[in-house]
Amino acid sequence: MAGRRRIRWEALSLKLVFGLLAAIALLFLVLPTAVVLLTSLTSSQSLRFPPPGFSLRWYVALLDADQMQRAGLNSLIVAFWTTLLSSICGTAAALAIARSRSPLMRAADLLFMSPLLLPALSFGFAALIFINRLGLSPSVPLLVLGHGIVCVPFVLRTTLASLSQLDASLLEASESLGADRLTTFRRITLPLIGPGIGAGAFLAFMASFDNVPVSLFLADERTEMLPIHLWQQIETNLDVRTAAASGAIVIATLILMLLAERFAGLTRQMH
């Protein structure tokens, strides 16, 4: 009896903790997002919550916001190349790390993961000093390189996770049936770890798109990035279009996430 009662208490406390965590997450993640979405729909001239009335005028105003659009395009271009770069590097690194048991590869794994642990701000600063020492100045390719270093860990983790699920006997079966290594990679390995790479690529894209600390140091005056531009707008003139831009990003992200979940099972790839 006593044992059963204790187990019930444990189950109850587990539920309580999870419930509490979920409530906190709702409060601090979903609520602000809702506030931003509501504010962006305001009919008034200023950033105010709650809005006095609703309209889509600020979304319409986005169509004329040249500077903001340029910053958005810059961010998209950098995020695109960053995603490509980190997908290729992350996948290649994951394949090498998964295949090897040497402690050197463990070290390499840690090295690749370190940008996630290190404050991105200090990395951005260090990168700026480094490229200055090399006699280079900030440019889009260097920006992509910097973003890539911060975004590779996402692809590496999800790809490693899907590689650990990959049954080695499938590769042996392919080999024994006469397929060479390239064919085995193309027809067996890649399709089976594809969803893992896709999930990592999605995360990398998002991480690059809203990256501030690296962009702050590595973007030059011509290539203004959207998150930094939005921040400056809020700081200087409380532009309501920033709320509309944030709202547009939230909606686009939601749609992308739903698509990714529908077609690749995004959340399934993350553990």
Partner 1 sequence: MTASRSHRVRLDAITHRFGASTAVRDINLDIAGGELVALLGPSGCGKSTLLRIISGFIRQSEGRVLFDDSIADALSPAERGVGIVFQNYALFPHMSVGENVAYGLQAHKWSRERIAKRVAEMLDLVHMGEFAGRKPRELSGGQQQRVALARCLAIDPKVLLLDEPFGALDKNLRLDMQIEVKRLQRQSGITTILVTHDQEEALSMADRIAVMSRGRIEQISTPTGIYDTPQTLFVNEFVGTTNVLRGEFIDGSAVQLEHGVVLPVSPDKIFQQGHAVVVSIRPEQLRFQPAPSDGVFTAIITTVLPLGAQVVYDVALTGGPSLKVAEPRDAEGELREVGATVYLAPASPAACHVFPAS
Binding residues (CB under 8 A) for partner 1: these are: 167, 169-170, 172-180, 183, 187-188, 191-192
Closest distance to partner 1 from the beta carbon of 174 (Å) = 7
Of the pair 197, 244, the CB lying nearest partner 1 is at: 197
Closest distance to partner 1 from the beta carbon of 165 (Å) = 11
Contact assessment for residue 59 and residue 43, using Cβ atoms and an 8 Å cutoff: no
* Closest by Cα among 185, 97, 197 to 155: 197
Closest distance to partner 1 from the beta carbon of 161 (Å) = 17
Of the pair 170, 255, the CB lying nearest partner 1 is at: 170
Give, in order, the Cα–Cα distances in Å from 48 to each of 31, 187, 231, 244, 264.
Answer: 16, 55, 17, 13, 39
Task: Name, in order, each residue with C-beta under 8 angstroms of 189's C-beta and a sequence gap of 6 or more.
Answer: 95, 166, 171
Of the pair 184, 223, the CB lying nearest partner 1 is at: 184
Closest distance to partner 1 from the beta carbon of 195 (Å) = 10
